[in-house]
Amino acid sequence: MAMKVQIEALTRVEGGGSLEVFLRDGKPESLRLSIYEPPRFIEGILKGKPYQVIPDITARICGICPVAYQMSGVQAIEDAFCVKIPEDIEEIRRLMYFGEWVQSHALHVFFLHLPDFFNVPSIIELSKIDKGLVLAGMEIKRAGSFIIQALGGRTSHPVSVVPGGFNALPESLSELKETLEKALEKALWTVEKLKALNFPDFELKEVLFVSLIEEDYPILKGDIYLEGVRVSPKEFKSFFVEFEVPYSTAKHAMTKYGRVYLVGPIARFNNAFEKLSPLAMETAQKLSLEPMVKNPHKGILVRIVEIVHALERSIRIVKDYKKPQRGKVEVVPRSSTGYGVSEAPRGILWHSYSFDSEGRILSANIVPPTSQNQRAIELSLWELIKDKENIKEDWLRDHAEPVIRSFDPCISCATHFLKVSLKDAKKFNLA
Amino acid sequence: MKVGVFKFSSCDGCQLAFFELEEELLRLSEKVQIQYFLEASSKNTWDYFDLAFVEGSISTPEEEERIKKIRESSRFLVAIGACAVSGGIQSARNFEDFSEIYFSVYSGRYEVNPLSKPLSDFVKVDLEIRGCPINKEALREVLIALLQGKSPQLPSYPVCLECKRKGNPCVVVAKGLICLGPITVAGCGALCPTFERGCYGCYGPVEKPNLQALLEGYSRLRVSQDLIKELLRISFNGYNKSIREWL
Ligand code: SF4
Ligand code: SF4
Ligand code: SF4
C-alpha cells in the first residue's frame, strides 16, 4: 500500500518548504524536499534597468545575507566593466562580509539550530535552560551586525556598497574594536559548551565539497574549487548544471558529470582548513574537528570555528583601518558580460550580467547556495530514512527536520529561476 | 497577548527585526505568547491571535486564501515592511509585461499571480510598519504601545526632516543627485543622504505624497519625469496605493 508522510511547513529555516516521504508497504520509496516559496522573479525585474540598481535590488533576495548579494553583484559589474579594485577597498569589503558571516552564523547556530540539541522548540525556551549561552549568542550576533551597520548604515540591506567601492566610509572604526574583542571572548567561551553537545552518528556519502579558493580562507572572491580542479567564475555554467524539478520552486544543481555537491561552511572547512586564523585553528582542534568533516550536524561546530576566524580577522582589519583616500574607483559602462562569485554564509553565490553600452542590464543570472545544496540535503535525508519502516510524522519532525536545519537552507534565496532547458536536464539524466 | 508572525512573498528580512530585539524578545516573551512564528519556533499553533504581524506581498492564489484566514483569526493585523505595505520589489513586475518576465526566468508550472500586491488589497490592515526592512525601534514601539493599550507613534513626515535634524547637507542641492526623500516617509534616520547618496524610497510614500510637485521640481533640474517614475517603480514601494496610478 502506498502512502505519504510529511512535514507541511519546515520550521526554524528561512523561507517556506516542506518534506514529503513516500512509503510503500511501510518502506520508504522516495522523498522530496519541496520548496514552495513563490518566485519573485528578481532576474526578470532587473532586465532593462541600469547597472547601479544591482546592489540594492539583489540584496532583497535575502534578508539574512544581503551583503553576499551585494558583493557578488558588484564584482560581476566590475568584471564586466574591467574595473580594478584597490586592496584597501577590498579589505573593507572583507570586513563587511565578515560582519555578515558572524551575524548570520550566530543567528543559525544559536537561534535556529541549537534548540534541537536541547530538545526545545525555540531560543526562548532554550533561554530558560541556559540563559548564559543564549545571551552569548546574542552578543556575538550583535557584533556582526555592528560591523555591517558601521560600514553600511543598517544590518539588512545596507546602503553604502556601490560598483567601484563604497559611497562613503567612516573616518574611524575604533569604536568597533572592543565590541569585537568581547564577542570573540564570548565565542571562545561557547566552544566548551558546544563541545559537550551530542551529535547523531551520521555521514554524508558521495558528496563533492565545492568552495572558492583564494589566498585567504575563502570569502570574497577567487576561483571555484572542486576535487583538485579550479573553475573560473566565467566557466561556472560549463561545470555545474541547474535544472528544475517538478515539486520545487527552487532549482537543483549538480556537476556536469552528475555528481551531487555541497557548498557552505563544511565545504570551505574541508577545502581550506589550513588557511584558518590561528585562534580558529585552535578552536577546531579543541572541537576535534579536522577535514574531512562529513557529518552535517557538525555544521554547527564548523560555524563557530568560522565565527572565531571572522572575528579574529575583523579585529585585525579594524586595528589597521585608515580611511582610504578614495572610497570608490570610477566605473565606466561598456557593452559586455561579467561574472562575480563570493562565499555567502551558506556557500558560493554566483552572479552574471550582460550589459549594453550604456550599462543597462540585458540579462541577469543568479545561482544561490541553497539551490546548489538541495540535492545534498535530499541525499542525506535518504540516508537517514532508507532503512526505517513505518515512519511517522513525529519521527520526521524529530529526526529529519534537524538534518535539514543543519544545512541552514535559505529557502527564500533559493527561489530563483533562470531560463531552463528541460532538455539539458534530461540529457544529464537529472529530471 | 497572543501573537503570530506570518510570511508571504518576501526575503525574510523584516522578520529578523524580531531577532534583533534580542534580550527584549526574551523579556517580552513573558508578557506575550508567540504562538505562531515558523522561522523562530518548531512549535506553532493557529487558533486566535490578538496581534498578527505579516511580512511579504500577496502573489499567488494560495497566498490570497491564507491572508484572509489570518485576518479572520486576528484582532489586530500589522503589515510589516515594503512587501506587505506596497507589494515590495517583486511588484516592479506590475508595471511590465508579466509573461515576458515570467517566461524569461521560468518554464511555467507554478501558479503565480501576474501582480504582486500589498495586503491591503485583500484585507483590512490595522497598522503599517514601514521600511525595507523595518527597523527594530519601530517594532519595539508597536509591541510596547499595543501591550499598554496605546496607539503607537510612528513618523508620518518625510525623510527630509530627518536629514535636517541630522544636519546633513542636501544631496540634491550639494551634489546634484536624485533623492526621493521629499515624498518618502521617515523612520530610517535619513540613512542614504548620510551615506552621501539619494534616498531610493525604501520606506515608501508619505500619506498623500505630492508627486506632481516632485516631478516638476526635478524637471526644473532637467531630470526627466520618466526617470523619476522608473526610480519609483523600483523603489520597493511603487505599487503603494497612493502612487501606483501615477506610474
Ligand atoms: S520589505 Fe524588504 S526586508 Fe522586508 S521582507 Fe520585503 S524585501 Fe525583505
Ligand atoms: S538629501 Fe534628500 S532627504 Fe535629505 S533633504 Fe535633500 S531631498 Fe530631502
Ligand atoms: S534614505 Fe530612503 S532609501 Fe535610504 S534607507 Fe532611508 S528610506 Fe530607505
Q: pTM for the whole thing? A: 0.95
- Residue B121 CA to residue B88 CA, distance in Å, equals 13
**What would the mean pLDDT of A294-303 be, rounded to a whole number?**
95
Question: For ligand 2, atom 6, which residue shows the shortest CA distance?
Answer: B170
Cell numbers describing residue A244: 528544475
The pLDDT assigned to A417 comes to 43
Per DSSP bridges, beta strands B49-55 and B2-7 are: parallel
pLDDT tens digits, residue range A171-206?
Answer: 999 999 999 999 999 999 999 999 999 998 888 888
Residue of A nearest to B99 (CA): A44
Name the closest residue on chain B to residue A244, using Cα atoms: B107
**How high is the pLDDT of residue A273?**
97
Beta carbon pairs, A and B, within 8 Å: 171
Query: What residue's CA is closest to ligand 2, atom 1?
Result: B170
Average pLDDT for B65-69: 98
The A223-226 sheet, strands edge to edge? A229-231, A223-226, A208-213, A261-262
Asked if pLDDT for residue A415 goes beyond 70, the answer is no
* Residue A379 scores a pLDDT above 50: yes
Q: Which residues pair with A398 in a beta bridge?
A: none
pLDDT at A424: 34
Q: Is some CB atom of chain A closer than 8 A to the CB atom of B110?
A: yes
More confident residue, A6 or B88: B88
The whole-number average pLDDT for the span B74-87 is: 98
What's the CA-to-centroid distance between A160 and ligand 1, angstroms?
18
Residues with Cβ within 8 Å of A374's Cβ and at least 6 positions away in sequence, in order, are A33, A35, A248, A250, A252, A253, A409, A414
- Alpha-carbon dihedral B211, B213, B216, B217, rounded to 10 degrees: -110
Mean pLDDT throughout A233-251?
A: 83
pLDDT band of residue B29 (cuts 50, 70, 90) is confident
Q: Looking at residue A407, what is its pLDDT?
A: 87
Nearest in space to A400 (alpha carbons), one of A266, A254, A296: A296
Q: Which of B118, B59, B114, B123 is nearest to B244 (CA)?
A: B118
Q: Which of A11, A127, A138, A156 to mutate to test the interface with B (most CBs of B within 10 A)?
A: A156
Q: Which residues of A touch B199 (CB under 8 A)?
A: none
Q: Count CA atoms closer than 13 A to B43's CA, side-chain side.
A: 12
Mean pLDDT of A250-257: 83
Confidence of residue A122 (pLDDT cuts 50, 70, 90): very high
What gap in Å lies between CA A255 and CA A208, rounded to an integer? 9
pLDDT tens sequence across B222-237: 999 999 999 999 999 9
d(CA B188, CA A272): 40
Question: Mapped to the 3 state alphabet, what secondary structure does chain A carry?
Answer: CEEEEEECCCCCCECCEEEEEEEECCEEEEEEEEECCCCCCHHHHHCCCEHHHHHHHHHCCCCCCHHHHHHHHHHHHHHHCCCCCCHHHHHHHHHHHHHHHHHHHHHHHHHHHHHHHCCCCEHHHHHHHCHHHHHHHHHHHHHHHHHHHHHHCCCCCCCCEECCEECCCCCCCHHHHHHHHHHHHHHHHHHHHHHCCCCCCCCCCCCEEEEEECCCCCCCCCEEEECCEEECHHHHHHHEEEECCCCCCCCEEEECCCCCEECCHHHHHHHHHHHCCHHHHHHHHHCCCCCCCCCHHHHHHHHHHHHHHHHHHHHHHHHHCCCCCCCECCCCCCCEEEEEEEEECCEEEEEEEEECCCCEEEEEEEECHHHHHHHHHHHHHHHHHCCCCCCCHHHHHHHHHHHHHHCCCEHHHHCCCCCCCHHHHHHCCCC
Question: Average pLDDT of chain A?
Answer: 91
Band of residue A416 on the pLDDT scale cut at 50, 70, 90: very low
* Nearest-Cα residue of chain A relative to residue B17: A156
Distance from CA of B210 to the nearest CA of A (A): 25
Nearest Cα residue to B172 out of B157, B188, B156, B183: B183
Residue B151 and residue B143: Cα distance in Å, rounded?
10
Contact of A242 with A253, CB cutoff 8 Å: yes
- For residues A387 and A27, what is the distance between their CA atoms, to the nearest angstrom? 8
- Cell numbers at A273, concatenated: 582548513
d(CA B88, CA B44) in angstroms, rounded, equals: 27
The CA distance from B151 to B154, in Å, is 9
Side-by-side strand order, sheet with B127-129? B33-37, B2-7, B49-55, B74-80, B127-129
Residue type, A66: P
Q: In which band, very low, low, confident or very high, does the pLDDT at A426 lie, cut at 50, 70 and 90?
A: very low
Q: Does residue B118's CB lie within 6 angstroms of at least one atom of ligand 1?
A: no
Give exposure, A254-266, as e/b (b: 16+ Cβ within 10 Å): bbeeeebbbbbbb
| pLDDT at residue A419, as a whole number | 36
Q: Provide the grid cell at A37.
A: 516559496
Q: How many angstroms separate the CA atoms of A78 and A359, rounded?
A: 11
- Report whether residue B234 contacts ligand 2, using a CB cutoff of 6 Å: no
d(Cα B44, Cα B47) in Å, to the nearest integer? 10
C-alpha A430/C-alpha A161 separation (Å) is 38
Residue owning the nearest CA to atom 2 of ligand 3:
B199
Q: Quote the CA–CA distance of B193 and A238 in Å, as a whole number.
A: 42
List the beta bridge partners of residue A177.
Answer: none
Q: Does B4 touch chain A (CB under 8 A)?
A: no
d(CA A40, CA A211): 27
Compute, in angstroms, the gap from residue A158 CA to the centroid of ligand 2.
18
- The residue that leads in pLDDT, A194 or A16, is A194
Report the pLDDT averaged over residues B74-97. 96
pLDDT confidence of A420, banded at 50, 70, 90?
A: very low
Calpha distance A46→A41 (Å, rounded): 9
Alpha-carbon distance of A335 to A80, in angstroms, equals 8
Q: Whose CA is closest to B200, among B233, B162, B240, B161?
A: B233
CB atoms < 10 A from the CB of B56, how many?
31
Per-residue model confidence (pLDDT) at position A422: 35
Instruction: Tell me the HSE value of A180 on the side-chain side, using a 13 A CA sphere.
Output: 29
